Amino acid sequence: MFSKICRSVLLDVAKRMLLRMRSDRYFYVITFLYMYIAIYIAWIGGFMSMLSHQLYFDQWTKLFLFFMPAMAILFDLILVIHRFDRRRVLALRRVFSPKRIASLVSGVLLLGVLMFFQGSFTSIKNMLPALRGGFLDDRVQADLDAWLHFGVDPWIWLHALLGHDWVHHALDFNYSLVWFVLCFGALFFVATSPSADGIRKRYLLLFAFVWIVCGNILAGLFLSAGPAFYGQVVGDHARFADLVAFLNRGREQGISAGTFQAYLWKLHQAGDAGFGSGISAFPSMHVGLITLNALFVNQYSRRLGCFAFAYVALIQISSVYLGWHYAIDGYVSMIVVVGAYYGLAAVLRHRSIRTKSVAAENSLPVAS
């Protein structure tokens, strides 16, 4: 009897997994087309050394295939332990239900494939300066940035108000670590939790959109390196000299922004690939991804949405303060992501109305 029940549960889990993987097929197709394009560009351009897929196998596997699933299971078990009487039994049934198990396993498989997606993004990003013949748009973007801010480079205002070491430490910690946990924690939740089924398809499509359209296509069309590298790519070292000195002082204090910028420039000069390598400032991926999350949080709760959009503003400020971006990089990211979010919602709503209309027409009795 017990073996029969187990076999029935496993069969249910397998069926649910196949249904979820079938619904995710569009994302698998996008990922492997993306990978093919990255490899093809590298092959015809002679940039094979810039391919980065293998760099993600170790770190991505540890994070998304082991650490985060273990944390999800541990979190579920803690919830079960804190339930009492019948509620504990109900919680246990939910945690080990075929739906929950299928969602977790199929989501982890999807995240495993996503390492190829991230590798493709980094590979193309590495190749952009060679494909474009250098960073051609920094001067124009920096001048436009200053014009929008009444003739002053906006980092000057930020440093006049917040140019303290403790602020530098706090913003850097948030920008490099907290942002990563929030963005990729949200991705893990959407991919693996049945609670996110209502937004899963839209979120994954927009997640791919931000990386491909903002991070590769727009970045390639308007390629810039950002304020931290302005002197190297434009030849005018004076304009951002005080900002660079501030970032270099941070390196001596163990702050990662200046250190990581030096790491990226070293790889760029050598023409090599590294984990998270590639330089492009416009538009901002940090701002784009956190804006995407804020839009979905706001859909769930307006009150939480206020906090989420406040965090978008913090990331925008941090990106300028730490020398990664011109302010317009974040502004454009917000506009593009918000437009894509509401544009996709309109398309899906139109398709839903059209499908219901066709179904209603087909259900009408045929006149004899």
State yes or no: cis peptide before 98, omega within 30 of 0: no
What confidence tens digit (pLDDT) does each residue in 298-354 have? 998 899 999 999 999 999 999 999 999 999 999 999 999 999 999 998 888 877 677
| Half-sphere exposure for 192 (CA within 13 Å, toward CB) | 23
- Domain assignment present for residue 291? The answer is yes
- Domain assignment present for residue 161? The answer is yes
For residues 72 and 196, the model is more confident at 196
Mean pLDDT of 164-186: 92
With the C-alpha atoms ordered 97, 100, 102, 108, is the resulting torsion angle positive or negative?
negative
- Domain assignment present for residue 359? The answer is no
- Domain assignment present for residue 361? The answer is no
**Are 70 and 27 contacting, i.e. CB atoms less than 8 angstroms apart?**
no
pLDDT at 30 over 90: yes
Containing structural domain, residue 163: 2-349
User: How far is the C-alpha of 110 from the C-alpha of 68, rounded, in Å?
Assistant: 13
- Domain assignment present for residue 341? The answer is yes
- Domain assignment present for residue 339? The answer is yes
Model pLDDT, residue 363: 62
Find, among 315, 78, 75, the residue nearest to 193 by Cα. 75
Mean pLDDT of 147-174: 93
> pTM here?
0.89
What confidence tens digit (pLDDT) does each residue in 133-148 have? 999 999 999 999 999 9
**The amino acid at 34:** Y
Find, among 227, 261, 12, 74, the residue nearest to 139 by Cα. 227
What confidence tens digit (pLDDT) does each residue in 205-239 have? 999 999 999 999 999 999 999 999 999 999 999 99
- Domain assignment present for residue 216? The answer is yes
- Domain assignment present for residue 186? The answer is yes
For 298, residues 6+ apart whose C-beta sits below 8 A from its C-beta are 304, 305, 308, 309
Mean pLDDT of 4-11: 67
Q: How many domains does the chain have?
A: 1
Tokens 């980094």 found at: 122
**Quick one: what percent of the chain has pLDDT higher than 70?**
88
What confidence tens digit (pLDDT) does each residue in 245-277 have? 999 887 766 668 888 898 999 988 888 888 788
For 256, residues 6+ apart whose C-beta sits below 8 A from its C-beta are 172, 176
User: How far is the C-alpha of 53 from the C-alpha of 38, rounded, in Å?
Assistant: 10
